[in-house]
Structure 1
């Protein structure tokens, strides 16, 4: 049984005038859409950012006005060449890009404030822009079912601008600037969302991929008060390594050399002042050579503040904020990450996997016993690989499906006797990381819920399966009634999300009732017309193996 809906609150009165909000002494003018009945305030500065410096907060103490009717520029970023790449430059780019967009119902009951959803986009910390995630669908649908929310979509600095690593970056306070941007934006929300009708005590952060991983990092500040709920879509605190800044010194030196700063007496200051386009071209050069600089040449580092210590150690110790959350994955997380796709041999497979850990000293790839066990638990059997449920069909190289299964994914039920021989769901980046985060939360009595999205989209190619990012159109209600059951599933998912925003529990008037993960260790499996609860016990031996060697991936020897 899927959703039954109730009308929008009868107390809401439609306001068609241009929306105007007062923040301290500043007047902010936005847009009104008569079709969706959603008001938008676009391109609002939550801070001012300059290269390799922490952004400063935005002041509204001086009388003035802001025209918030158009999207602002994106942050400088990588020109992607993979299936996730989007032309984020449509509105231009600027190094001063710490902006956010606000979507709200056209009218809010007098004296009422609404829960707030704050989106942190994914994109491997190298791509993304607020305009690509319009929040109007969430606001419109949430209002339709009588649970209206305000949605905030924020930008944060990316690639070298946001995640410059190396000892020089650490010494100059330039670590994790993208994470500090996120924190500054959440502080802005706490201070100013009331002016837009938002309830600062009911802020839910939600994000996908590196956005979800970022949320996991913010959980490591156990006393943080910037949000009271979280939804982590395909990512957590242990999805990828977070190491000491000096582990990235080689990539820092390569960037310095590529922009022509090698002979400077102060290479960091030279990087700070080098021509913008020169720096953009240099970052694209490094990113285009994963065999040399790794597939993530810039990443989060342990800074003693936002990330106070090793995320894998802190998570294992249960040192995470006591904040309720939802965490989940899609069925075939790994397919779009397999590059090159023509993986033919065991050596090709290991070369592909090691790119994610290049220059980080991951000991796994020097441990012959661990490698042997990985090969045993992930045999090259196409019928058991990802994309799942595609039988003996192979795609690209002979070991493409094997690589995709190891990288990330989930499957339906499998006979117990296939436990050891199946590669399905022996996940490094996603499935193990999700279970690990849920387990840590459970040890501290934190309420949590878990999901798997198994619904394929008609737009997905056969080799992609239910690939990484497939859930985003469902959450943002991009489907329409013409899409039939896909639209109905989107409504169902969004109802759970906004119910959680209201009640810190995704319970809604629909079946099945989504139970806490701690109750029986069950996921809700999202599938059109067949959403159900399923035990999260698939591939226990394989995922336990990943957990037993996780330190070999996530920790770097001194």
Structure 2
């Protein structure tokens, strides 16, 4: 059918075509969904590149005439199966190795000649899990339009686990390091090239993400001359949350994957992994991930590749090598809880065993430093009333030291890392704001507290007016987020005025009862000590 006939036929067949919307990219027509109830257009499963195993993705081309059906979510990237309390089946739309896809959500009505700010979401999941479909942007677009600050929301897939973050010498020699980060970069470049076709302003791109998504944003900010985004919101993660190592540091896990996948006898183990059956490779990665005592809690991770990650991020951060891009960084109150369960921590030895799983095969000197261990144990005593989830008294939940482990884990990976990134940025003149999310959601378990990921439903407007104060808090948070996307300042008409992070070091603390500005000085002794020995976690001993 000639594309020129589509508008005419739609005018005649309103019932058939009323639910679709079309955007042109060159000679290509992109067909999406229009929801007349929400007033939101959706363009789903759009390719921003083409990806093959262990190769950098190539950019999407629109040189040929054609039609793209963007009315359904695309498949997720291959990934490990979740084992913690937040396990999600991300494969309900299938999985595919050619998974460099994105979803776009926009207001249906955009005044002619107007370009809207863009918010691009990078999901979390420890670089091993996640999918774009799990984070629908309709609520953000609908609410932002309601308050007359309409934005376009983009949500992307990027490659994960061994597909996106394979380490080892062989991966380095074949250009296969950090492919997930390069995917993110390619998606951001796609937005620069094409988002104006959808009514987006490529000069006002805010990247926001949670956990490993936030860490990824911080890594991209270490490229101080980046032009791919102009604002950032980091939810529970920065450049010093977890170690990034030389490729060779992952050699043990690369060799283990080769062995488990049955490639040990190959003359070219990399090529064997690259060409083997997809499901067999998925099974091998699941086997590794299910054995953290052997391969660590993070079998694959970001490598120092000399390009996108030119040096150890902890060193680059300490030098103040952070792009002059305004940003927001924040934490939830109880970051550590979901990382402890299902492990029972009852003794000091249990505590160290749990903490070390995140650094297994990463040569962290802390675990050989008796003085550092002893000092940390003093600063974080085995007192349930001081542990995480905070404010839960003497309840121990799972093992007598569960709350102690959650507190230490949360401060090392998230609370201290945020404070460190902000202080470095402020010292180098980067405009920044900080928050602490402290609202317990009743549908969560008591042991989880205000858990890691807990702010996401609020940012994505997952509450309705029937949820009362939680809905009101969600609206308040999103108003600050989209105001930042517009003005590079999160000020909105709500109280309090969100003050910049500075030597006064204040957080906005989000609660349904009374959001307020408060000093960022909680657990200062413990986090100051963590900062003083951070090299023992982040810079492997020789």
Q: What's the TM-score once normalised by structure 2's chain length? A: 0.96
Residue in 2 aligned with 1:490?
Answer: 474
Question: Which of 459, 470, 485 pairs up with 2:443?
Answer: 459
Structure 1 segments, 4+ long, off by >2 Å, are 15-18
Residue in 1 aligned with 2:157?
Answer: 155
The CA distance in 2 between the partners of 1:356 and 1:339, in whole Å, is 14
Contact 1:39 1:103 in 2 (8 A): yes
Unmatched 5+ residue regions in structure 1? 1-14, 409-426
Per-residue CA distance 1:400-421 (angstroms, 9 max, x = gap): 000001011xxxxxxxxxxxxx
1:141-180 correspondence runs (5 A) = 141-180=143-182
Residue in 2 aligned with 1:480?
Answer: 464
2:419 equivalent to 1:435: yes
Per-residue CA distance 1:467-521 (angstroms, 9 max, x = gap): 0000000000000001000000000000000000000000001100001002621
Residue in 1 aligned with 2:12?
Answer: none
Question: Which of 480, 488, 502 pairs up with 1:518?
Answer: 502
1:82 alignment partner, SS class = coil
Question: Which of 74, 77, 85 pairs up with 2:76?
Answer: 74
Q: CA RMSD in A?
A: 0.9
1:43-54 correspondence runs (5 A) = 43-54=45-56
2:385 alignment partner, SS class = helix
Residue in 2 aligned with 1:32?
Answer: 34
2:29 alignment partner, SS class = strand
Contact 1:31 1:39 in 2 (8 A): yes
Residue in 1 aligned with 2:11?
Answer: none
The CA distance in 2 between the partners of 1:557 and 1:461, in whole Å, is 39
Residue in 2 aligned with 1:98?
Answer: 100
Residue in 1 aligned with 2:57?
Answer: 55
1:239 alignment partner, SS class = coil
Contact 2:203 2:229 in 1 (8 A): yes
Residue in 2 aligned with 1:416?
Answer: none
Contact 1:339 1:352 in 2 (8 A): no
Contact 1:165 1:248 in 2 (8 A): yes
The CA distance in 2 between the partners of 1:340 and 1:491, in whole Å, is 34
The CA distance in 1 between the partners of 2:93 and 2:127, in whole Å, is 19
The CA distance in 2 between the partners of 1:299 and 1:375, in whole Å, is 28
Per-residue deviation at 1:340?
4.1
1:207 alignment partner, SS class = strand
2:516 equivalent to 1:532: yes
1:430 alignment partner, SS class = helix
The CA distance in 1 between the partners of 2:165 and 2:56, in whole Å, is 11
Per-residue CA distance 1:359-414 (angstroms, 9 max, x = gap): 01000000010001011111100011011111011111110000001011xxxxxx
2:92 alignment partner, SS class = helix
Contact 2:31 2:71 in 1 (8 A): yes
Residue in 2 aligned with 1:365?
Answer: 367
Contact 2:85 2:341 in 1 (8 A): no
2:274 equivalent to 1:250: no
Contact 2:469 2:513 in 1 (8 A): yes
Question: Which of 140, 144, 151 pairs up with 1:138?
Answer: 140
The CA distance in 1 between the partners of 2:382 and 2:363, in whole Å, is 27
The CA distance in 2 between the partners of 1:278 and 1:55, in whole Å, is 22
2:532 equivalent to 1:548: yes
Contact 1:447 1:518 in 2 (8 A): no
Per-residue CA distance 1:506-558 (angstroms, 9 max, x = gap): 00011000010026210000000300000111222211100011000001123
The CA distance in 2 between the partners of 1:369 and 1:455, in whole Å, is 36
Residue in 2 aligned with 1:122?
Answer: 124
Per-residue deviation at 1:17?
6.2
Unmatched 5+ residue regions in structure 2? 1-16
The CA distance in 2 between the partners of 1:458 and 1:17, in whole Å, is 36
